[in-house]
Amino acid sequence: MKILIRLIPLVLFILLGVLLYRGLFLNPQAMPSALVGKTFPEFSLTRLSNQQQTLSNADFKPGIKLVNVWATWCPSCKVEHPFLVKLSKDKRFSLYGINYKDNRSDAKKWLKFYKDPYQFSIFDDAGRLGLNLGVFGAPETFVVDHKGVIRKRFAGVLEPRVWQREFLPLINTIETEMMQGK
Amino acid sequence: MSKLLQLFSTMTISCLLAFAVQAGPIDTYTFPDEVTKKRFNELTYELRCPKCQNQNLADSNSPIAQDLRKEVYDMLIDGRSDGEIMTFMVERYGEFVLYRPRVSSITYALWFGPIVFVLIGGFVVFMFVRRKDDEPEHLSEEQKQQLKSILKD
């Protein structure tokens, strides 16, 4: 009994130590999105390439969707762009862009110059859709499943390693769910 | 000479203070009344900027903080309650935006951990102290007298 009481502070100290030590290696940017598991927010915004055309959730194709938040003012977006062009050839999902708080003519020029990997880009001038998505910067990428539910949010540059480790397994999972008719 | 120096240092300090006051971001919002203004200040003080991680909305100059301040302002003007505004933010940016997280099953450790620690610590200290103040029983009457006289000095 005596020895047990004496050991309590030590045990607590070790537990706290382990907890804080683990905390040192957590990535503060990788916070879970509040939106995972919720449906993609409703929007009604113009198409980047045509300001006469209004887009809404209904314009997404059925199936798995990858929604990428980008802007010309964002240097990391330039870094991830070639990889997005590669991804756009994958038939298992369709890739969409949200042009976030940008200038329309600059953004159009960018897509002309670097190739346009997106089915379409939503022109989110005021950042309203971004706000509803909990976006706090660019680039960010969302995986939306066949039911329109957000399954993943990733903040940062999408690159092959991240893709292999975090995105592919999820896409496989969603594909299985689709086949099972869930 | 020393007068001059004093004047100079006073001026320097007041300049620094003037800059310090202006260091925060400047928004030009007009409020219908003092209460709304106070609520705006309180809300932007309580909400954390999602991008800068360790600044509140009131302190941060990042674009997202500006947007969120605008959002808070619009909602206040719209007549929404503080609770509604907080919920709006949490629905989008998660519990993370709250500097004071709500009490829920995932934050129990955060809220009650310290109390538990203090209680356990108190218990351990209590157990030790209680044992210590037993008077030594193996001393003879003479030795006890001796001990008392030593302690008196």
Mean pLDDT of B104-132: 85
- Alpha-carbon gap: A130 to the closest alpha carbon of chain B (Å): 10
The span from the CA of B27 to the CA of B46, in Å, is 18
Query: Strand pairing partners for B98?
Result: B47
Cβ(B97)–Cβ(B87) under 8 Å? no
Are the C-beta atoms of residues A158 and A141 closer than 8 Å to each other? yes
ipTM of predicted assembly, 2 dp: 0.76
A165/B52: higher pLDDT:
A165
Query: Which residue among B51, B93, B95 sits closest to A137, beta carbon to beta carbon?
Result: B51
d(CA A100, CA A121): 10
Give me the pLDDT at residue A31, please. Answer: 64
**Which is nearest to A100 in space by CA: A71, A134, A137, A74?**
A71
Per-residue confidence of chain A (182 residues) as pLDDT tens digits?
Answer: 678 877 888 888 999 899 899 888 877 666 667 788 899 999 999 999 999 999 999 999 999 999 999 999 999 999 999 999 999 999 999 999 999 999 999 999 999 999 999 999 999 998 899 999 988 888 999 999 999 999 999 988 999 999 999 999 999 999 999 998 87
- So what's the pLDDT on residue A1? 66
Q: What count of CB pairs under 8 Å joins A to B?
A: 42
Query: pTM for the full model?
Result: 0.74
Cα torsion through B100, B68, B50, A68, rounded to 10: 140
Q: What does the pLDDT read at residue B148? A: 86
**Spatial separation of the C-alpha atoms in residues A123 and A44, rounded to whole Å:** 10
CA gap B131, A97 in Å, rounded: 71
Place of tokens 């003092």: B34
Chain A, nearest residue to B69 by Cα: A131
pLDDT at position A165 is: 93
Which of B52, B87, B93, B115 should one mutate to test binding to chain A, selecting the residue with the greatest count of A CBs within 10 A?
Answer: B93
Question: For A8, which of B50, B91, B124 is closest by C-beta distance?
Answer: B124
Q: What is the pLDDT of residues B89-102, one digit of tens each?
A: 998 988 888 888 88
Residue indicated by tokens 């990391």: A76
d(CA B55, CA B60): 6
Task: Find the closest chain A residue to B92 by CA distance.
Answer: A134
Q: Where are the alpha helices (DSSP H) in A47-91?
A: 75-87
Query: Residue B146: which pLDDT band, with cuts at 50, 70 and 90?
Result: confident
Q: What's residue B22's pLDDT?
A: 47
How many Cα atoms are found within 13 Å in the side-chain-facing hemisphere of A109? Answer: 7
B127 CB neighbours in chain A (<8 A) are: 5
- Predicted pLDDT of residue A103: 92
Whole-number Å distance between alpha carbons of A92 and B115? 52
Q: What is the spatial distance between Cα A128 and Cα A100, in angstroms, rounded to a whole number?
A: 9
- Please report the pLDDT score of residue A176 as a whole number: 94
Structural element, H or E, at residue A95:
strand A93-100
Lookup result for tokens 């029983």: B137
Pairwise CA distance, residues B34 & B51, whole Å:
29
- Judged by CB atoms closer than 8 Å, whether chains meet at B92 and A132 is answered as yes
- pLDDT-based confidence at residue B13 (cuts at 50, 70, 90): low
